[in-house]
Amino acid sequence: MYRIWPFAGRGAELTRLRAHLRDPSARGVVLAGAAGVGKSRLAAELLRPDDPERHVVRAVATPAARDLPFGAFAHLLPAQVLPSSQLNPLRWAAEEMVAPAAGRPLLLAIDDAHLLDAASAALTHHLAQTGQAFVVATLRSGEPAPAPVRALWKDDLLRWVELEPLAEETVAEMVSGALGGPVAPGTARRLYELSQGNPLFLRELVRSGLESGRLALVAGEWRWQGGPECLPLASRLVELIVARLGDLDPGLEGLLELVAFGEPIGVDVLTRVVPPELLESAEERSLVRLVDDGRRVYARCEHPLYAEVIRSRCPRSRMLRRQRELAEAVEAAGARRREDRLRVAVWRLNTGTARDPVPLLAAARLAWAAPDLELAARLAGAAYEAGGGADAVVLHAYALLNLQRLEEAGALLVDAWERQTDDVGRVAIAAIRYRVMTAEDRPHEADRMLAEVAATVGDPAALRELYTAQATMTALRGMPKAARAAALRVLSDPGVEPAQAAQARCALALLDAHCGRSGAALREAGLLAAEEERWRDGAPFLRPLLMVVRAAAHLFAGEPALAYAAVAAEQRAGTVEPWPPAVVLAKADQARAARMRGRVESARRLGDLSGLPGGPWDVCCHAEVAHAAALAGDAEGARAALAAADARSGAFFGLFLPWVERARVWAAVADGDRGGALALARAAADTARDSGLPAYEVLALHDLVRLGAADAVAGRLAAVTAGMEGALAAVVARHARAAADDDAVVLMEVSEEFEGLGMLLHAAEAAAQASPAFLRNDGAASGAAASRAAASRAWALGERCEGARTPVLARLRAPGLTRRERQVAELAAGGLTSRQIADRLVVSVRTVDNHLAAIYAKLGVRGRSGLAAALGIGPPSG
């Protein structure tokens, strides 16, 4: 972490203050705000000590020097006693302050001006009023200040600027800058919520996280490890908070403990335990704040870190007592709200007073819907142990499955299966057991179990959950026919529940995305998202699965930038990080989008899983790392990532395994085995066709086009892509036909179409294929010029692909522009005249024109209008 954090989030204020500083009539500025909000840092950025045009001096007011005349300025005034002849001490002090400036403007920065002693406050006012100094004073909002200091802004001598806490996006930017790398969205959000945008608290939180190891570099991002209970509080941070809390008598301390363990806690509940006047006192001291949601007034600690410190300093015995008191008070008030039932169950569980499985199971369902998987597993486990039956064990297993604790979930279900005799309970257990067994790569056993249960249970309503599980899992296994049959069976049942229907519809949307029906998939995903309240409690895992649907639909439609954005939106919304499988799938989708855009090194970074706990979904990221490594020419890296993917591959991932097989194609290319690569690509296309997944078939066939075998697949691509949705299918078919026909003109058009989709590597390859085609098809002079232009475009596009080295690009030669020619070409392509270019490069206009003539000849263009296309310069895609 940097010793000095990056300055962020105050750019607009700094710009305005610098303009104010340059105003001859301005006397100064007061920077006000809460402690730690960044007042001193902003003042330091405004007043640089090395400013050669101004004399900058600084003072810090402290409580210790408050009773000493000129105590804050002692280091700036002479050591000798004031001469007896000097009857005006204020004028004397002002002259002594101004003298060292030697005629330059004096800039005086004062920290915590509200703590100034009377003489220093009067001197500050005098310097500002007489214009002898430009004063920058910081003070804490709400604190009493000496009358001369108050007069600074009340009399309009100094401009008043109130600093607000930093915005959430600024917190993310600041932490990323301090740590020197990207911060996971959920971590940035958590740091913002805990710090409330206060830079001082933020810095100490990050320091605490680093020292404890809770904040660590995981999978290429800085992530906070552990749940809310895993917040380390370094002594320095605790000291800061304790100082803010001040002295607390036992009654006030008890109230704060109740609020800290119960927040947000209804005032009606809280005042059952403590006297109302105690709450009023806490509010007056800004220790507690009241929040009105329109139905109820809640109490919270004034700052989230107050609650963290109070909880951390509370002895365990008293902590248990406070939680019992809270549980009893909320129960006495009726526990009418959803959150009341969840918190009472947690308090009862924490204090060992939970006996009834019913409230425990109800609370587990609320935690599951939240989602808080760890808490859901804990509550459901406790409910099962208390006699909660099949419903409790099913929910417990669901949480464990999504936490990727498959072995634990499997053992739990085997035990419950042997004990269960009721048909409804057996079907419920069988449904989640089917999911777990499939995830454990035991799909055939899962199928047999499902068939056996279905044959022995006659109640169709009881079987709906089993067929719902089958629809989802067979879709993930890449079995469209079976998945569609199961999904339609669920949806045709008039008694289907909202969560079951939503899962079946989501399975169909996932298949639509992978079968080239991108528009249908996106429409269904949008409808399901709009209906989330109907299914969220029963199937909260659908939210991240809908992200996968959207990403796949955009990718297969040739919209990688939109795919990336769809994932990023869910990450920002906080719907990804609670689900470990979704974290991996999000990384895989973003890596895939980056690779399709030609950003091969970015794809490798995004697919990095180092530091994350391993799980079955990891195959998706390993495949992307392998593919990107291969495109970069790193055969060894591609082989290593493929080995990792193969170690995770199983039937569960049938829907995603084509990504592995395509990576295998390009790994063979990186190894120099073109024949093997062609055979692998054909096999991948045939497998996709036989599996009923045409979107994958199109990509595998397009790999053959990119490897020079267009004549063998152009017809098949035309047939497969007919009727498919999205721009990509049409461009791919057009590319195949142009390459097979050796049509250089159409290949250049295809290159532009790929560039328009943001697929720069594909655009470069199409232009590279056009270059020799021009030589073969046109006359010597015109063909050579067009060939050079195509090669130049391919080269320029390839340069934007982060080191990608595919066979067709490897055969290109650099356009041959010198460094200066490249400068001139780019400036001319950007619209500058020869005179403007000459002025910028400090050369003559004749020299610029000579360079341009040589550039036109090398690139095969006729003038400035063709430069941008030849150089691959244009607005950034996506």
Lowest mean pLDDT among 146-155, 694-703, 782-791: 782-791
- Is-contact 247 270, C-beta < 8 A? no
Does the domain formed by 11-162 have CATH 3.40.50.300? Answer: yes
pLDDT at 348 over 90: yes
Q: Could you read off the pLDDT of 28-38 as tens digits, one per residue?
A: 999 999 888 99
Where does the pLDDT of residue 293 fall: very low under 50, low under 70, confident under 90, or very high at 90 and above?
confident
Q: What percent of the chain has pLDDT over 90?
A: 65
Q: Could you read off the pLDDT of 366-383 as tens digits, one per residue?
A: 999 999 999 999 999 999
Look at residue 10 in the predicted model and tell me its pLDDT.
87
Out of 3.40.50.300, 2.140.10.30, 1.25.40.10, 3.60.70.12, the CATH code matching 573-799 is 1.25.40.10
Q: Is the pLDDT higher at 11 or at 736?
A: 736
Residue 831 backbone zone (phi > 0: left; psi -120 to 50: alpha; other: beta):
left
The pTM of the whole model exceeds 0.75: yes
Report the CATH number of the 814-871 domain. 1.10.10.10
Helix (H) or strand (E) holding 298: strand 297-301
Where does the pLDDT of residue 616 fall: very low under 50, low under 70, confident under 90, or very high at 90 and above?
confident
Average of pLDDT values for 548-567?
97
Q: Could you read off the pLDDT of 128-162 as tens digits, one per residue?
A: 999 999 999 999 988 899 999 999 999 999 999 99
Look at residue 877 in the predicted model and tell me its pLDDT.
42
**Separation CA 199–CA 164 (nearest Å):** 11
**Separation CA 790–CA 795 (nearest Å):** 9
The 3-state DSSP class for residue 663 equals helix
Q: Is the pLDDT higher at 750 or at 2?
A: 750
Helix (H) or strand (E) holding 224: strand 221-224
The 3-state DSSP class for residue 140 equals strand
Average of pLDDT values for 636-661?
90
DSSP conformation letters of 527-589: HHHHTHHHHTTT-TTHHHHHHHHHHHHHHHTT-HHHHHHHHHHHHHHT-STT-HHHHHHHHHH
pLDDT at 61 over 80: yes
In the sheet that 288-292 helps form, which strands lie side by side, from edge to edge? Answer: 265-266, 297-301, 288-292
Q: Give bridge partners of residue 309 from the DSSP assignment.
A: none
Where does the pLDDT of residue 243 fall: very low under 50, low under 70, confident under 90, or very high at 90 and above?
confident
Look at residue 230 in the predicted model and tell me its pLDDT.
59
| Nearest 10 degrees: Cα torsion 492, 494, 498, 502 | 0
